[in-house]
Amino acid sequence: MAGTSTTGASRNGHSGDGERVRGALGADAEAEERGGGPSLPERFLRAIGGQVARRIPEANLDDRDPDYIRETLPGLWLLSSLYFRGEVRGLGNIPEKGPVLLVGNHSGGNLTVDTGVFMLAYSAYFGVERELYTLAHNLVVSFPGLGFLKRWGVVAASRENARKTLEEGNALLVYPGGDYEVHRPVWERNVVDFDGRKGWIRTALEHDVPIVPVVAIGGQETSLFLSRGETLAKLLMLDRAFRLKVLPISIAPPWGINVGDFLGHIPLPAKITVEALPPIHVREAFGDDPDLDEVYDHVTRLMQETLDALAAERRFPVIG
């Protein structure tokens, strides 16, 4: 499963592809207001970024194909069972019916294998009839060769797609940490880090849906992640042109030193364990006008405690 991540959040009311690509539920669309006019190279890069964004086709919820999911489950089951020794707990905590926002921690670089393990277990448990959508950066959905992700219900991260998904009574999986969390260095592998993004809480409140935290461990052991490469991304002005705030550096087969991870890598066979926690009804727990910081702290604390417990079960890296 490749790089499913939600980045950014559109709070400034702009519309269009560029905005859509920035994503829906993160929150860093706290899009910095930059002072002064851009330089010539910067304008050039922004123009290229805009062109790329405009060429990306809009994601469609109808792209999800339950028959395709069902037919590919055995292959994914083989990969999950034999290579990653996947284990998913607590699926009974996810409501059987109705809209629900599944909030996960994100690991594994551009190959987020824990998402695959979870989607397999979810589809087997509830059946393909209980629709699950996953928000991802539109570049991921549109990347050549990754069209199959759309058929699995991976859609571009946008407020509109989140709204449609939840209004139709489906489950929606989001990764608030997005590209920031997924490329964290390996020594931070057991840390939940949403980078302060709170768009997902606003989405849950807006649609009045329960939040089910989904905690995964093992994904950040699938290669040796060294750095997010934020400085490098800034130096190359990738953040301004493509909204890419990271240019991750890792050691991963078959490349050795892997910068950017644009072509993916062969993940190490780390044991993946995922646990879904009991649902949180935000207004029931925090009142009619919940404080976002309080909700954020509560959910991330619960997730961190679960991740710590899962980490305590592991005796060796990768092996589990």
Partner 1 sequence: MRVGASIQVSAPADAVWAFIADPARYLHFMAGITRWEVESEEPTGCGARYRMLMRVRSAEIGGLVEVVEWDAPSDMAWTSVTGIDQRGRWRLRERRFGRTDVEFRLSYGVAGSGLLGWAAERVAAPTVTANLRRTLQQLKRQVEHEQLRAAAAARREAKQRAAAGGD
x-marked contacts with partner 1 along 117-136 as a string, rule CB under 8 A? x--xx--xx-x-x-------
Q: How far is the CB of 271 from partner 1 (least distance, A)?
A: 10
Which of 65, 193 has the CB closer to partner 1?
Answer: 65
Q: How far is the CB of 42 from partner 1 (least distance, A)?
A: 47
Tell me: does residue 288 bind partner 1 (CB under 8 A): no
Residue choice 82, 285, 309, 318 for contact with partner 1 (CB under 8 A): 82
Cβ pair 179, 137 in contact under 8 A: yes
Tell me: does residue 286 bind partner 1 (CB under 8 A): no
Tell me: does residue 313 bind partner 1 (CB under 8 A): no
Q: Token digits for 230?
A: 């934020």
Q: How far is the CB of 74 from partner 1 (least distance, A)?
A: 4
Tell me: does residue 151 bind partner 1 (CB under 8 A): no
Residue count (the chain): 320
Which of 77, 255 has the CB closer to partner 1?
Answer: 77
Please tell me what DSSP assigns to residue 23: -
Tell me: does residue 229 bind partner 1 (CB under 8 A): no
Which of 27, 76 has the CB closer to partner 1?
Answer: 76
Tell me: does residue 319 bind partner 1 (CB under 8 A): no
- Residue 10: HSE in the Cβ half-sphere, 13 Å Cα cutoff: 18
Contacts with 304 (C-beta within 8 Å, 6 or more apart), sequence order:
191, 192
H helix intervals, 86-237? 113-126, 138-142, 148-151, 159-167, 178-182, 199-207, 230-235
Residue choice 47, 54, 60, 71 for contact with partner 1 (CB under 8 A): 71
Q: What residues pair up with 224 in beta bridges, in sequence order?
A: 251
217/271 Cα distance (integer angstroms) = 8
Span between the terminal Cα atoms of the chain, in Å? 20
286/204 Cα distance (integer angstroms) = 13
Q: How far is the CB of 127 from partner 1 (least distance, A)?
A: 5
Which residues contact partner 1 by CB under 8 A? 67, 70-75, 77-78, 80-82, 84-88, 91, 117, 120-121, 124-125, 127, 129
